[in-house]
């Protein structure tokens, strides 16, 4: 997939307010391609994960894996305030194996 198509898909998924597990699978796979993504897309993905700060349901492993891939691939591209937002998410949603890696 070209980077522009992937960027558009990532942005569209990240803006969707209704979460489902398939989003995590697609996010993980697209983020794992290690594209140089535009800042707007990275910001959208951060907002996607940050939305879960107030969502207290138990999230599937695929969600945690998508967050792990995002953190690993784009840790140098996101701003310190965005990193803090993601840390807040990790305080609410943790996975015993995945969260320590993030």
- Hey, where are the domains in the chain? 3-101
CB 79 within 8 A of CB 36: no
* Whole-number average pLDDT of the chain: 91
45-80 per-position pLDDT tens digit: 999 999 999 888 888 999 999 999 999 999 999 999
What is the structure's pLDDT at 29? 95
pTM for the structure as a whole: 0.89
Rounded alpha-carbon distances, angstroms, from residue 68 to 2, 32, 80, 89, 94: 23, 10, 17, 12, 11
Above 80 in pLDDT, residue 99?
no
Phi-psi sector, 34: left (phi>0), alpha (psi -120 to 50), beta: left
pLDDT above 80: residue 1: no
């Amino acid at each position: 997939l070209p980077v522009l198509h992937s960027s558009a898909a990532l942005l569209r998924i990240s803006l969707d307010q209704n979460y489902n597990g398939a989003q995590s699978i697609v996010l993980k796979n697209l983020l794992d391609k290690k594209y140089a993504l535009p800042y707007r897309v990275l910001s959208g993905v951060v907002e996607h994960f940050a939305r879960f700060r107030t969502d207290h349901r138990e999230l599937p492993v695929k969600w945690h894996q998508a967050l792990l891939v995002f953190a690993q691939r784009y840790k140098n591209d996101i701003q310190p305030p965005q990193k803090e937002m993601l840390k807040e998410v990790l305080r609410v949603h943790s996975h015993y194996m995945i969260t320590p890696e993030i």
